[in-house]
Chains A and B, each alone.
Chain A
Amino acid sequence: NAGVTQTPKFQVLKTGQSMTLQCAQDMNHNSMYWYRQDPGMGLRLIYYSASEGTTDKGEVPNGYNVSRLNKREFSLRLESAAPSQTSVYFCASMEYEQYFGPGTRLTVT
């Protein structure tokens, strides 16, 4: 089992560019999550999906959109990147505890 996979691992964007972060899990979990991690702030929930076909906002959803493509895949889209979105992004899936992907390090210049 690969667990939770994320692509890309690194990305540099210019302000105003768009991109999609991809996430997939092979554990047949219903729930999937997107977090951002910033120094001194822990993990903050951006969006989550409790089951296929549903998505809900988390703590910091502004500037992001998500798609739960199927049970395995949950993507995060930045339509117009801003420097404030420079962060490390983690995807996770959960049955009882959460399992995390390796992260995407995004820099917006």
Chain B
Amino acid sequence: AQSVAQPEDQVNVAEGNPLTVKCTYSVSGNPYLFWYVQYPNRGLQFLLKYITGDNLVKGSYGFEAEFNKSQTSFHLKKPSALVSDSALYFCAVRPQGNKLTFGTGTQLKVEL
């Protein structure tokens, strides 16, 4: 069965510093990988996805993610964090077919 792990419940970072939100997955085959962001009292918004090709994927709002097949990881990164990036971030995997499996989420807090 597929699974997604986000090992940190919360990540704190100072504005202007780089940020990383970690995600590892366990699934057979070559999955599609996704990152979503959720602001308070809102639905999830798509940030970026990896399907195939370049291991570094660029997405919305300056975010990027690095796919590492050997480590089965798909960490979300941003070179310079903003206070407005504070939100709940979800990693998800789509092995084959139509279903996604989501991680439990990481709360990102960016402080001045």
Chain A residues engaging chain B, CB cutoff 8 angstroms: 4, 31, 40-43, 45, 48, 50, 58, 90, 92, 94, 96-103
What are the residues of chain B within 8 A of A50 when measuring CB–CB? 97-98
Which residue of chain A is the closest to B43 with respect to CB atoms?
A100
> A42 to B46, alpha carbons, bound, how many Å?
15
Q: How large is the interface on B (under 10, 10 to 19, 20 to 34, 35 or more residues)?
A: 20 to 34
Whether A90 lies near B43 (C-beta < 8 A) is: yes
Chain B residues engaging chain A, CB cutoff 8 angstroms: 9, 32, 34, 36, 41-46, 49, 51, 90, 92, 97-100, 102-105
Whether B102 lies near A42 (C-beta < 8 A) is: yes
Whether B44 lies near A97 (C-beta < 8 A) is: no
> A96 to B105, alpha carbons, bound, how many Å?
21
Instruction: Tell me the minimal C-beta distance from B105 to chain A in angstroms.
Output: 5
